[in-house]
Amino acid sequence: MESSASSGGPLADVRVLELGSFIAGPFAGQLLGDYGADVIKVEPLGEGDVMRRWGVVRDGESLWWPSIARNKRSAAIDLRRPEGRDLVRRMAREVDVVLENFRPGTLAGWGLDYATLAADHPGLIMVHVSGFGQSGPRAGDAGFGSIGEAMGGIRHTTGNPDRPSSRAGISLGDSLASLFAVIGTLAALSERSRSGRGQEVDVAIYEAVAALMESTMADHELAGVTRGRTGSVLPGVAPSNVYPTRDGGEVLIAANADTIFGRLCKAMGTPELITDERYATHEARGRSMTELDGLIARWTATLDAAELLEILGEHRIPAGRTFTAADMLADPHYAAREMVVRLTNAAGLEVPAAGVVPKFSRTPGSVPAPGPALGAHTRAALADLAGVGPGEWDLLLSSGVVAGG
């Protein structure tokens, strides 16, 4: 059967059965679908995945849903019923990957754990995304992305030093976990091509966050340095900050490397700073960060943002404005890189979303289909993966085990 996903993506021969809801897990399914995988999303009957109503809603549909469920097929199956769980077991025999983000132990209680499914399909890969992982004293605890961000350490380093810890304005922990789920899926698929055997991939949200925390543990244990909140800068890295402009804009300038700092000094008309002992080396600039930022800010404040960026560009200094969504939608580089795609949702509204990342030269990913209606592919997916014929379909439909067409 033809998938709703691109037939030319690098994962065009991979089938994924997605179980779960919210962001951690389903975002991984979105990415795998972007790369051409056939992703069959199992949703509960009734209202389906909560992401259908999450965030900003217009005309009764979440503006997030067309993107996070793009390239997926929706199968509405009641997993609370034994018949529904049996259908999923049958479907799992025909896929490469089962992707799930239920609380650990839930699938085992339903007889859908890896050991059970792999008994019929030794090559199956099961990817788990949870708050704290499948083992350890907190494995069974409820874990949301915000908790993972706190336990993973990034909240402690985010914000201003004189205020409580802050968060990014997105679901960072969930998204990071999904990225590691995709990496783990690809690694397991690669290993299976050699061994012929599947395995479990265990992603914990807090661990996905902790993996990004650089040398913070070593800094603390071996040097007695505990990184904390430092606002818009990194200690010892200068100049690299957001600077004001005459027209009220904000421009980020990253000129902390010696050669780039020299070019910045020339752009500012202050070449003498290149050899000034306070700024001549990376270490010296780190010690004089506050004073140096003040000098640069006084210069940038005399220029409008566009004029400042033009000067910085002429001197090959990394710089850029702080973008809003409006900037992304209007930016020519975003457009040239196809980083804004437009999906038509169920209400007929054209919804912009981020394009496919990364770009592939020979087998490009694509976004041919927005998030589907609940159960739009139930019958076709069950016929394709579970061998459900017309008679069994009618029985399942009439008994309320499945829904959709």
H or E element in which residue 304 lies:
none
Question: From the CB of residue 171, how many other CB atoms can be counted at a distance below 10 Å?
Answer: 21
Nearest to 71 by CA among 23, 6, 8: 6
Tell me how far CA of residue 2 lies from CA of 93, 124, 211, in angstroms: 18, 22, 38
223 CB-side CA count, 13 A: 8
> What tokens appear for 24 in the block?
């951690």
Q: CA triplet 41, 44, 46: central angle to 5 degrees?
A: 125
Known catalytic membership, residue 174: yes
> What tokens appear for 228 in the block?
């904390």
Burial 14-40 (b: 16+ CB within 10 A, else e): bbbbbbbbbbbbbbbbbbbbbbbbbbb
Write down the catalytic residue from 34, 49, 78, 174: 174
Q: CA triplet 256, 261, 264: central angle to 5 degrees?
A: 125
- Cite the DSSP H helix spans in 126-171: 145-152
The DSSP string of 200-229 is EEEEEHHHHHHTTSTTHHHHHHHH------
Residue 53 main-chain phi, psi, to 5 deg: -125, 10
- Cite the DSSP H helix spans in 38-142: 65-68, 82-92, 106-109, 114-120
Q: What amino acid positions are annotated as catalytic residues?
A: 174
